[in-house]
Amino acid sequence: MAADAHTDEAVAGAGGLVVGGDGLARCPWHGGLPDYQHYHDHEWGRPVASDARLFEKICLEGFQSGLSWLTILRKRENFRAAFHGFDIVHVAAMDEADIDRLLGDAGIIRHRGKIASTINNANRALELIAEEGSLARYFWRFEPPAAERPAKVTRDWLRANPVSEVSKAISKDLKKRGWSFVGPTTVYAFMQAMGLVNDHLEGCVARAECEVERATFVRP
């Protein structure tokens, strides 16, 4: 899940929700920060079928390892510039010289292993697309059945479940295929963000909107 950035600017409501200045109840982790709240309201939990966005997100989740998502979010445009908009073919063609160049780019996280992992994962993504047809088709076939989800998503439940059996299965399969920086916690955060599950808290204004989008979303 996105890092908890709750501040006293928001008023705590029932079930761990916070009520913003607009009177709407939300998950608390955006902390009232405008850019983070926009991400919460308009991106997190909404189903995604774009291979470029799926690839971008799983790579950025890898970069987040050991950091907060807010740090990555605020550098996201720099990451997009550095990695050709996360165009999988272009990223797969990057080489050691590109790694050395990006290690000098202060706009991104300068971690050799994570940069190299992104290039490696692009090549593994091309292999997966050749086999499955698309990243979207691959990831969405792991969508958990509704019966395996809690009747109500609470903050306590999320804290107790930073991974799932599905995220473990995806992580294991991706690692077998040669992907890196795709541990089960990273994969579960990816699932939450890309709408494979709806982990907005019960009563959050975005939860109902995500449910509507998920109901009408055409699975790849």
Positions marked catalytic: 39, 61, 69
Compute φ and ψ for 114, nearest 5 degrees. -75, -35
CA–CA dist 49, 52 (Å, integer): 9
What does each C-alpha distance from 192 to 82, 106, 184 come to in angstroms?
25, 28, 12
Contacts of residue 101, Cβ cutoff 8 Å, sequence gap at least 6:
none
The letter for the amino acid at 33 is L
What does each C-alpha distance from 195 to 8, 82, 131, 192, 209 come to in angstroms?
28, 26, 23, 6, 11
> Which of 214, 219, 220 lies closest to 46 in space, CA to CA?
214
> Which of 207, 217, 215 lies closest to 152 in space, CA to CA?
207
| 30 three-class SS | helix
